Structure 1
Amino acid sequence: MRPRKIPVAAAAMIFLFLPTGASADASDVQAEALGRIITGDETLKAKPLVRVAVIAGENEIREALALQGALSRQGFGSLLVPLSEPEKVEGNDVYYFSSSYPPQLAELAKKNKALTIVRDSSVVEAGLASIALVLKEGKPELTAHLGRILDEGHSFGDEALTGVHVFGRVEAPKAPEKSAEPEPDKPKNAPPYVLEQSLITRVEPKFPAAVLNAYRGKDVESVVLVCVAKDGSVDRPKTRILKAVAGTEAALLEAVLRWKYKPQPISVCAPVRFVINVK
């Protein structure tokens, strides 16, 4: 039976809720930590069944089988995928790597919108995977890369990331001094698919010639935090660039500000990812 969902506390503080000492089985600790990561993921927590691919090399099969059983006890679907058969990861929502992290699977995860979880924090620091789950003295420690998480189509709220070692963070502008009056219409953060479903008019960015010449034959990736007002128009002051190639920022904003969405009851902000092939 899948555990009851509860509000997600600070992800790096997961160890406060986990068994410790000699009685704590490593696979159960890992499965419990993975469960809390999934619960904190705005994209995954709404799914009735989350499927986890446990990817292992020849020397990690026994450990991977134990983790697979622990995940099943947590109420998640799980599949053991040998490192030599990467094509078997298709159809899973989370890729958990028990050993090495092949580059082809890193690209496949972005294509399939799968959340990547590894056991080496240096891989996450380099932006090659979303989350690192490392056991130290039987307790899990988490590292997250926000840019990579967005690239894989996922998102976590600030509360879920409290205390986590975070990389790829985009510093927000300083908040204005609080006034006596409450903010009349504070946008609600949402996962990317919320805006995708309500988009009516989309205008593609036109990059400067210098950028086109520099990146010809390559993919140019960008991420824009798009904030939409109740009437479906893009909120200019709140919309901002999260990730962009130098020289493309103005073109991205100019295009996005011309988008039109269906009217909605509340204002919403969500990250929108662009991948443009320069020909």
Structure 2
Amino acid sequence: MKTLNRSKTIIMTALLAAFSMSSANLALAEDKTDMRAADASTTADKKAWLDSRRMQDYGDAKNMLEQALAGATSVEQLRGLLQKEGYMITSINEQSNDDIEYEVVKGDHSFEVSADIDNAKLEDIEVANNVWRADETKRAMREADYKGGDLMYDEKQAGKYSDSKYLDSWGEEKEALEAALPVGKTVSDYQKMLQDKGYQITSINDVDDDNVEFEIVKGDHSFEVQLDRDASTKVVNEIDVSTNIWQSEETEKALGQE
């Protein structure tokens, strides 16, 4: 009788061990699936597109440019100060007797510079983020030796690339997207959710045991989605949907499709 009970105990122990190993293997398989998906679009320099890596420098540069432009009273003076600070004007988004708006580039930083005009005098000069960018702006950010050419204001294209045109709808979409992505799923679950909602995953910027970040595009809108997850179970416990300022080439191509 003791021998029989002992045999049962050994069998149950083996079954439990096998079950535990199967669960672990499932979690591992899930992780490997995520990694294979990432490998398809991730290169060694993909982390360069992470906004979180650049936002501090970007904010500092924005503040410095605002201070440098604060005293400008005319369009000519504004252009001169931009050149002095090393910025190239890559797009004229607005130009009238009432206001102006430029896109400017220096290195990998791009801003929108706008001002109201009253009696030919500049007022309320503002330096803002530049997310929806003209083709010339994208090229200047990619090519260090880009010289540009003579810029002409196209009234038919007025405001086409102005961030103000898109911000309201972008903010509403961001809130809706956050509400539609509950915590407690795996990365592959979120990938399917996004694809079902019409989003294209254009770049996987980072994959770690406890974090995955990728860029998504739908129409004129692009976001960065960051999923923080438990390193052992791979279950996501925090989701962040944010602005995508530094876009991968795949994201730029997707946004350029009509």
- Structure having the larger proportion of residues in helix: 2
Does TM, scored on the shorter chain, surpass 0.5?
Answer: no
Q: TM-score, normalised by structure 2?
A: 0.27
Calculate the TM-score normalised by the size of structure 1.
0.26
